[in-house]
Amino acid sequence: MVAETGTARDPSPETSPGTPSVLTRLLRRPLALAGLVIIAVVVLAAALAPWLAPYDPYEQFFDGLTIEGAPLPPNAQFWFGTDLVGRDLLSRLIYGAQTSLVIGVAANGIAVVIGSAVGISAGYFRGWTDTVLMRFTDLMMAFPALLLAIVLAAIFRPSLWIVAMVIAMVNWVQIARVTYTETRSIAERDFVVAERAMGAGAGRILLRHILPHLLSTIIVWATLGIATTVLLEATLSFLGIGVQPPIPSWGNIIFENQTYFSSAPWLVFIPGAAILALALAFNLVGDALRDILDPTQQGRH
């Protein structure tokens, strides 16, 4: 049955030589376009924070609190309201975008690169490489991630980039595990044997033939990782070993204010929504990329 439908399919009409570029095709998909817009907004906010933010993010406004000392809900002066000490939430969110982008994109990106590299090499080379790399991965998995992060953060002096490195160090293991398993099954497939039979080196096989097949898995894990790393950074900040207050990050804004969740819900909802939107945006773009890069998924019949 399968063989029949496979061979019976007529060669579909010409893929024209002028196939549009990946970016053009990305922009043609409404969901991917929405994702790109959100990412652009966050990146611009982070880059242009000093010019965009209406107030100084560290300034505690005298009129930022009610008479009873409670934070202000969103109003005409403070669009997103104020936090517990009377600082403007919008300005803090805009500055916080810098931190969260570094953590969510850079730290997570490093984790994805390390994880994929370890998983793919272990899965393809097998033997000793496999044993050493995967036992090390298992060791890292068995170690409580938070404890490891605390130890690493305590050794180095806390700063944004150290936090990013720490997060990358604890987050690569899951991706290594997943890519390892998939690489093993792909490496057994005939086309990889065929590549070896024509003398292709390991580099070509890994980068040009195995990696493209793993892209969809890697993209899914990478986008999932954005939300978790942003929250892990918040956890570390809360424990005092992450980004040091009063520097804002989306994660530590939530943590600072979570005790007032019932009386001032906007302080948790708005930064939470920002994290969600960023993760969702990367997810939409990632999904679209996966479909565009897979020639067998093209919708021509």
Partner 1 sequence: MSSARAMEQDQATGRLAVTGLTVQVATPAGARTVVDGLSFTLEGGKTLCIAGESGSGKSMTALSLMQLLPKPMARVSAGTAMLAGRDILALPEAAMRAVRGRSIGMIFQEPMTSLNPVLTVGRQLGGAISAHGGLSDAAIRARALELLDQVQIPEPARRLKQYPHELSGGMRQRVVIAMALAQNPQILIADEPTTALDVTVQAQILALIRKLQADLGLSVILITHDMGVVAEMADDVLVMQHGQMVEHSPAGVIFSKPRHPYTRELLAAVPRLGEMAGTTAPKRAGESADAAKPTHAEPLVAVKDLTVRFDIKGGILQRPMQRVHAVEGVSFDIMPGETLSLVGESGCGKSTTGKALLNLIPWQGQISVGGRATHGLGARAMRPVLRDVQMIFQDPYASLDPRMRVGELVAEPLQIHGLASGSELADRVAYLFDRVGLSTDQMRRYPHEFSGGQRQRICIARALSLSPRLIVADESVAALDVSIQAQVLDLLQDIQNETGMSYLFISHDMAVVEQISHRVAVMYMGRFVEMGSRTQIFENPQHDYTRKLMAAVPVADPARPRRAFMEKAEDLPSPVHALDYTPPRHAPRDIGGGHLVWEAR
Long-range contact set of residues 164-167: C-beta below 8 Å, sequence gap at least 24: 164/102, 164/103, 164/106, 164/107, 164/110, 165/107, 165/110, 166/236, 167/103, 167/107, 167/108, 167/111, 167/229, 167/232, 167/233, 167/236
Element (H, E) at 164: helix 160-187
Nearer to partner 1, 9 or 157 (CB): 9
Q: Does 3 bind partner 1 (CB under 8 A)?
A: yes
3-state helix, strand, coil in the chain (%, to 5): 70, 0, 25
Binding range to partner 1, per CB under 8 A, among 30-38, 218-226, 243-251, 289-297: 289-297
Residues 132-191 that bind partner 1 (CB under 8 A): 189-191
Residue 262 is a binding residue for partner 1 (CB under 8 A): no
Of the pair 66, 297, the CB lying nearest partner 1 is at: 297
Region at 11 (left for phi over 0; alpha for psi -120 to 50; beta for the rest): beta
Count of residues interacting with partner 1 (CB under 8 A): 39
Residue 2 C-beta-side C-alpha neighbours within 13 Å: 0
Q: Which of 1, 76, 142, 155 binds partner 1 (CB under 8 A)?
A: 1
- Considering only residues 180 to 239 of the shown chain, the ones binding partner 1 according to CB under 8 A are 189-191, 193-202, 204, 208-209, 212-213
Q: How far, in Å, CA of 277 to CA of 226, rounded?
A: 11
Counting contacts by CB under 8 A, is residue 296 touching partner 1?
yes
Q: In angstroms, rounded to a whole number, what is the distance separating the alpha carbons of residues 202 and 205? A: 5
Q: Is 127 in the site for partner 1 (CB under 8 A)?
A: no
User: For the packed helices 127-142 and 108-125, what is the interaxial angle rounded to 10 degrees?
Assistant: 140
Q: Is 295 in the site for partner 1 (CB under 8 A)?
A: yes
Report in angstroms how near the CB of residue 267 gets to partner 1 at its nearest.
Answer: 47
Beta carbon nearer to partner 1, 15 or 66: 15
By C-beta, is 19 or 181 nearer to partner 1? 19
In the chain, the amino acid numbered 46 is A
Which residues within the stretch 7-26 sit at the binding site for partner 1 (CB under 8 A)? Answer: 7-12, 14-15, 17, 19
* Among residues 144, 155, 262, 301, the one that binds partner 1 under rule CB under 8 A: 301
- Whether omega before 17 lies within 30 degrees of 0, making that bond cis, reads no
User: Minimum Å distance from CB 133 to partner 1?
Assistant: 17
**Interface residues with partner 1 (CB under 8 A)?**
1, 3-12, 14-15, 17, 19, 189-191, 193-202, 204, 208-209, 212-213, 293-296, 299, 301
